[in-house]
Amino acid sequence: MHSTNYYNTFIEIAEDCKHDSGVIPPIKDEKKTIANLQFEILFEHPYKYSSDEVLFAVFARRKGFLQEELEEEKKHYFSKGQPCFRASPLSKSYGWGVHSNSDGKIAIYGVETDEYKNLLEDESIKKIKAMRSRKK
């Protein structure tokens, strides 16, 4: 099984992020986007879920899987590599850094917050940048 989980790591916003603060992703055409669903989970439940749990929950919700299908679908989903939160629209476009604690549980912080700045300055935490939206 592949995993998207990080441990004791901070994903900084992308170099070409459009926002200089954490922005709530807008709902488009009355339908929640991947960014909306990720934001809701992480904003309401910081450090409760791992990256794998959030990404699969969003995937399963969008696909409309039945409860009894979830375990098999999860095995199939993680049987190949999946994009991690470095590719999330939250960190690429909406100004949210993603911190994974030592247990692999994640939380988001707006780039304008003291928490974001403190995570950047913490030398005990590995830092990686979110993926750019556009090539250089």
pTM comes to 0.91
Question: Is 122 among the domain residues?
Answer: yes
Residues 6 or more apart in contact with residue 91 via CB below 8 angstroms: 11, 12, 13, 14, 17, 85, 97, 98, 130
**pLDDT tens digits for 69-98?**
999 999 999 988 888 999 999 999 999 999
Does residue 67 form part of some domain? yes
Count of domains for the chain = 1
Read off the pLDDT band of 136 (50, 70, 90).
low
- The reply to whether 1 falls in a domain is no
CA dihedral 114, 84, 15, 90 (to 10 degrees): -60
Lowest mean pLDDT among 49-53, 65-69, 102-106, 119-123: 65-69
102 lies in some domain:
yes
pLDDT in tens, 25-76: 998 888 889 999 999 999 999 999 999 999 999 999 988 888 999 999 999 9
Grade residue 17 by pLDDT with cuts at 50, 70 and 90.
very high
Question: Does residue 116 form part of some domain?
Answer: yes
Its domain, for residue 79, covers 9-129
Task: Let me know if residue 2 belongs to a domain.
Answer: no
